[in-house]
Amino acid sequence: MTADNPFQRAKAQLKKAGIKAGFSAKELEVLAEVSAVHEKELSVTVSGEKIKLMAFRVQHNDSRGPFKGGIRFHPEVNMDEVKALAFWMSMKCAVVGIPFGGGKGGVEVDAKSLSEKEYEDVSRAYIRGMAEHIGPDRDIPAPDVYTNPQVMAWMLDEYEKIKKRKAPGVITGKPLALGGSKARDYATAQGGVFALKQAADLLDLPPFKTRVAVQGFGNAGMHAARILSGIGYKIVAVSDSKGGIYDEHGLDIKKLIDHKKATGKVLGFEHTKDISNEDVLELESEVLIPAALGGVITPQNAGRIKAKIIVELANGPITPEADDILYKNDVFVIPDILANAGGVAVSYFEWVQNNMGYYWEEDEVLEKLGQLMFKAFRAVYETSKRLSIDMRTAAFVVGARRILEAEKLRGNI
C-alpha cells in the first residue's frame, strides 16, 4: 500500500489534489519531480572507531526560492523518506506563501548513542559533505528530529570556516546569540494555535467551551498546551512516550511543565487519572492535537474520535484511509502542511533578519506570524469550500498552484 513508502504516499496526495483541481499530466510530473539528490559517506570517529555514516540532502523544487528544510539524525533515515519530506516542504512553504522551495536532509545515525563531541563531529562532517550544495540563496537547512540549535551553531561555524566569510542566512533555527530569531523555539506551536483559533471561530467554539487533548509533550505539544491554557482553553489530557494523564477539570500546565522537567514524564502528576496514548486520541474533547508521531490515527480508531477539530502539529499523524473516515464524520482537520508551518515561517523571518542584519522584537515576530497564518488558513479554507474537498487536499491544491505559477513564469511548463 502507498502508506508504506512515504514518497509514494506524497505522490498519491498530489494526484488526489490534481484530480480535484484539474492539473494536467505535465503539471503533475513537474510537481513530483525531484530537482537534485545528494548522497555522501561521512567519515567520523565514534567510540574510538572510524566509521562511515550515510548522509542525504534532497532538493525537491526551488521555483519559488531557495530550497528549505531540516536535517534529521536518525538510524532509519532513508532516501524515500527524505524525498517525501522535501516534497512536503515545497508544499508547506508554498501554502504559507514564503519564498522558499523544499529540501530535506538526514544522517543515518543513532543520535542517542553519540557523545557531545561525536554529535559535533557528525554535524561538522555533514556540512563538509554538503557545503557545495547549500547556501543562503541556494538551500537553507534547519533543525529536525534529533538536531537542535546547538547542532545548527556547529553547522553554521563549519560552513563559515569553509567559505571564509560570515553567512548566518545559510541555516535557521540557530541560537539567538548567532543570529536566531525570537519566538523560533515555540513558533510551530504558536502557528498551530493561530490556525486553531480560526477553525474554532468557524465552528463557534470559544476557548471556555473547548476541551483539548494533546498527544506528545515535546517542543510542539508542550508549547501548544502552554499557549492554549494561557488563553483560556481547558487542556484535559496530555501524553508522552511513557503514557498519558487526564483531568476533566483541566490540567495546570505550568505545574505540569515543572513536573515533566523534574521527572522526565507526565505520568505521576497530581490529581490525574492515568490513561494510555491511544485513549488520549479517543476521549471526550472538542480539539485533538497529535504532536508526537506519524500514523497514529488509522481506520481502526478514526471512527471513535470525538474531537470536532484535529490540529496536526505532528507530521503525517493521520493515514490516508483515516482521513476519508474523518471527513465523512465532519471532523475539521487542519493538515500538517498548514498546522505546523509556523516553524518554517519563523525560519523565514530568521533568514530575513540575517539578510538585513537587523533583528526584531518578539512581538513583531508574533504579529507577522499571525498575519501569515491567517492568510494561509483563509486560502486553504476557501479552496476547500469552493471545490468541496477536505482541508488537506485543499492545502495541496493551494501549494501546488503557487508552485505551478512560478514554473510557468519561468517557462518550464
Name the residues that contact ligand NAD, by CB under 6 A: 188, 215-221, 239-241, 277, 291-293, 313-315, 340, 343
Read off the C-alpha cell for 164. Answer: 571564509
Dist CA 79 CA 85 (whole Å): 10
Active site residue 104: yes
Nearer to ligand NAD, 27 or 240 (CB): 240
Using an 8 Å Cβ cutoff, are 239 and 266 in contact?
yes
Q: Which is nearer to ligand NAD, 314 or 372 (CB)?
A: 314
Q: Which is nearer to ligand NAD, 134 or 224 (CB)?
A: 224
Task: Give the strand pairing for 332-334 and 309-311.
Answer: parallel
Residue 236 CB partners (closer than 8 Å, separation 6+): 211, 212, 213, 246, 247, 248, 250, 251, 283, 284, 285
Q: 27 or 81: whose CB is closer to ligand NAD?
A: 81
- Residue carrying the nine cell digits 514524564: 265
Least distance CB 399 / ligand NAD (angstroms): 16
| Min dist. Cβ of residue 223 to ligand NAD (A) | 8
Task: Kindly state the smallest distance separating residue 94's Cβ from ligand NAD, in Å.
Answer: 16
**Closer of 90 and 188 to ligand NAD (Cβ):** 188
Nearer to ligand NAD, 292 or 395 (CB): 292
In the complex, minimum distance from the CB of residue 216 to ligand NAD, in angstroms, rounded to a whole number:
3
CB-wise, 189 or 389, nearer to ligand NAD?
189
CB 379 within 8 A of CB 402: no
Give min distance, CB of 350 to ligand NAD, in A.
Answer: 13
Q: Let me know: does 35 contact 60? Beta carbons within 8 Å.
A: yes
Residue 240: count of CB within 10 angstroms of its CB = 22
Query: Which residue among the candidates 11, 16, 92, 104 is catalytic per the annotation?
Result: 104
Q: Over 24-74, what HEC string results?
A: CHHHHHHHHCCCEEEEEEEEEEECCEEEEEEEEEEEEECCCCCEEEEEEEC
Q: Where do runs of H (alpha helix) occur along 264-361?
A: 277-282, 320-328, 336-339, 342-356
Q: Which residue is nearest to ligand NAD (CB)?
A: 218
Whether 71 contacts 130, CB under 8 Å: no
Rounded least distance, CB 245 to ligand NAD, Å? 12
Say if residue 164 is exposed, middle or buried (CB neighbours under 10 Å; 0-12, 13-18, 19+): exposed
Tell me the closest approach of the beta carbon of residue 130 to ligand NAD, in angstroms: 21
Site of grid cell 505550568: 254
Give yes or no for a contact between 305 and 290, defined as CB atoms under 8 angstroms apart.
no
Closest CA to 264 of 314, 214, 313, 217: 217
Cα 401 to Cα 413: distance, rounded to the nearest angstrom: 13
Residue 68, C-alpha cell as written in the block = 528549505
For residues 105 and 69, the answer to whether their CB atoms sit within 8 Å is yes
* Enzyme catalytic residues: 104
